[in-house]
Structure 1
């Protein structure tokens, strides 16, 4: 029952984000809005970390499994990617670097703030 409560908190943030996206016709996906809402609730201590900690550990342990559908989707559209391997490799390399840099600055900022 503890895990169900914790999952409901996370799903509540998700559904609230999706609802806000639909109602206000926002250009940001509802899933991202839900993550931002969950982050803000944690930051302002509306939701305490202990309230969702256990289910988060379980979800993180299954995270690699959640990438399987994306990999299968990539494999099914492999014919579309033929001849564009170099372009996709460059895009993947650049986006990876951008994600690393942005993540580093966000962590640096959050360490100063918290």
Structure 2
């Protein structure tokens, strides 16, 4: 499990370094996750220590979300002032992501059916 947590921390560290080095507006943790995704795609499989660590972290995910919930409460005045824009962005973003997901799923199903015919 230590090897898995160390792997996650290394990818987060590399992501943070890249974000600072190139002055990117994307958080380093996100860059690290994308790098980890590419690493796992190239490797074509995960490894047991990483799977165990991720499972353990997901078990306690609600505890990791609590600080951001508290942060939202401290910004209540800003959220109340921008409530209409936030709701519009959430609704429009949801419909866009649903549409894109449905289109991708439709094309994947069509491709799978086409492969089964041949």
Query: Relative contact order (alpha carbons < 8 A, sep ≥ 6): 1 or 2 greater?
Result: 2
Distance, in Å, in 2 between the alignment partners of 1:18 and 1:37 is: 11
Pick closer, same or farther for the CA change 1:65–1:96 going to 2, 3 Å: farther
Pick closer, same or farther for the CA change 1:26–1:86 going to 2, 3 Å: closer
Contact 1:41 1:47 in 2 (8 A): no
Aligned ranges 1:11-50 → 2 under 5 Å? 11-45=9-43, 48-50=46-48
Query: Which region of structure 1 is more displaced relative to structure 2, 95-104 or 27-36?
Result: 95-104
Distance, in Å, in 2 between the alignment partners of 1:87 and 1:17 is: 31
Which of 57, 60, 66 is residue 58 of structure 2 equivalent to?
60
Query: Which region of structure 1 is more displaced relative to structure 2, 94-103 or 26-35?
Result: 94-103
Give the SS at the match of 1:26. coil
Count of matched residue pairs: 107
Q: Deviations over 1:66-107 (max 9, x none)?
A: 22122111111212233543332222222233444556649x
Contact 2:4 2:53 in 1 (8 A): yes
Could you state the TM-score of these two structures normalised by the residue count of structure 2?
A: 0.70
What are structure 2's unaligned runs of at least 5 residues?
112-118
What are structure 1's unaligned runs of at least 5 residues?
none
Distance, in Å, in 2 between the alignment partners of 1:86 and 1:62 is: 33
Could you state the TM-score of these two structures normalised by the residue count of structure 1?
A: 0.72
